[in-house]
Structure 1
Amino acid sequence: MKNIVKLMKSTAWVAFAGILVMSCSQALQVSYDYDSSVNLKQFKTFKVEAEHNIEQDPLLGSELNRRRLGDAVVEVMESKGYKLDQQNPEIIVRFMTDVKERQQVRSNNMYSPYMWWYGGGNNYSTYNYQESRFILNIYQKNSDRMIWQGWASGKVKAPTKKDDRETMVKNTMADILRTFPQATLDTYSRK
């Protein structure tokens, strides 16, 4: 009997932990691409700016969010060992956001031997939503050539508090830059 109670308690804790993890996870899908001919570990300094000549979404691309995005990218890049250099950076990290209207169509097949009784058939429903994208493009300064690109896309819910917005943006930028390599050990030996 004691073993059954222990098993039930441990199962309940595992279920609770699974629900907690699922509720905290973001709905954003993160991916990246890079130029394999460039050694990404050779860079040590960076600069952050908004992407040029791109029409920003009026909400996600607002001045407030551009500052949040820029600050979050600086914080994440510095935590990876890179130094901010506005005058002579080796790489330039440019960010942009956009929102796309999306539609999901669902089909509920209700065919069965008893469809004449239930009035079955094929029911369709549509669901309209907005998909947001956060995109980071990294350019090599001396050639102005894109060497790395990372993005996160999905449904974004607006947080309710100011701190939550900044945390959400920082976590999203950290997720995007997760695959970008750390700066090498001699980062701090250069001026």
Structure 2
Amino acid sequence: MLVVTSFLLSCSTMMQTYSYKDKSVKLKEYKTYAWANLDYFAEENKKGNKVYARLILDLANEELSKKGFVLDTQNPDAVFMFDTKIEDRVSYSQTPSVSVGIGVGGPGYYVGGSVPVAGGNIVQSNYNEGILFIEMYDTKSQKLIWRGWAEEEVSYTTNFETDITRAVKQIFMRLPVTHKSK
């Protein structure tokens, strides 16, 4: 039972989050923000192209508010954008080089022996990986100043709302700035 449990746990995937920050930028200077890609809410995207855009936007606004940012659509210090995609990925693993041996024993003299069974084969596995990117741009220079993203294996059993909620929270945990509330 322990072997089966550890095998199942080793097969499950964990969400990985990453971030990039321009070293020359002081994020404390950015207190207001707006969103740049609100075209995801246009009629043509309501057919399924970006079905979770509203969820991502609402969660991101909540996380930015917790960090003390203020939404300002007229004159923001920074502009945020987000995007999602699912990519086909391939992973490779190797089977154990020696697996099971064969033993022989008899009466009288105990004779034994073993023969290794073939192993060490390379196994290819195909899977889909969901990626959520959130980027922060300076409104004056239009340069990327921060990017956070999350990656996780997805399948037909994935609960996208739960995973997106967790991804947005983990991405904004990597945004290295918090403003004090007034």
Question: TM (normalized to structure 2)?
Answer: 0.71
Does residue 1:180 correspond to 2:175, yes or no?
yes
CA contact (8 A) 1:111 1:122 kept: yes
DSSP 3-state at the match of 1:64: coil
Aligned to 2:109: none
Residue aligning to 2:29 = 42
Q: Distance between the aligned counterparts of 2:74 and 2:174, measured in 1?
A: 26
Q: 2:66 aligns with which of 73, 79, 82?
A: 79
1:47-86 correspondence to structure 2 within 5 Å: 47-50=34-37, 62-86=49-73
2:148 aligns with 150
User: Which of 125, 128, 131 is equivalent to 2:126?
Assistant: 128
Relative distance call for 1:114 and 1:27 in structure 2 (3 A) is closer
Q: What displacement does 1:93 show? A: 0.8
Aligned-partner Cα distance in 2 for 1:139–1:94: 8
Runs of 5+ in structure 2 lacking a partner?
1-5, 40-44, 103-113
Which stretch has the larger CA shift, 63-72 or 37-46?
A: 63-72
Aligned-pair CA distance for 1:173: 1.0
Q: Does 1:28 align with 2:15?
A: yes
Normalising by the residue count of structure 1, what TM-score does the alignment of the two structures yield? Answer: 0.68
In 2 relative to 1, CA 113–28 (structure 1 residues): closer, same or farther, beyond 3 Å?
closer
CA distance in 2, matches of 1:151, 1:137: 8
Q: In the aligned structure 1, how far is the partner of 2:99 from the partner of 2:148?
A: 47
| Segment drifting more, 93-102 vs 104-113 | 104-113
Aligned residues: 153
Would you say the 8 A contact 1:73–1:173 is kept in 2?
A: yes
Give the conservation status (yes or no) of the 8 Å contact 2:95–2:121. Answer: yes
Query: Is the 2:21–2:147 Cα contact (8 Å) retained in structure 1?
Result: yes
Show structure 1 runs of 4+ deviating over 6 A.
none
Structure 1 residues 138-188: Cα deviation after superposition (integer angstroms, max 9, x where no partner): 0011111111111111213521xxxx71x4323211111112134433x64
Deviations 1:37-69 (A, max 9, x none): 1110111111123399xxxxx9xx833211111
What are structure 1's unaligned runs of at least 5 residues? 1-18, 53-57
Q: Which has the larger radius of gyration?
A: 2
CA gap of 1:136–1:106, structure 2 versus 1, over 3 A, is: same
Q: What is the alpha-carbon root mean square deviation over aligned residues?
A: 3.1
- 8 A Cα contact 1:27 1:156, kept in partner: no
Q: Is the 8 A contact 1:28 1:156 kept in 2?
A: no
Q: Which has the higher helix share?
A: 1
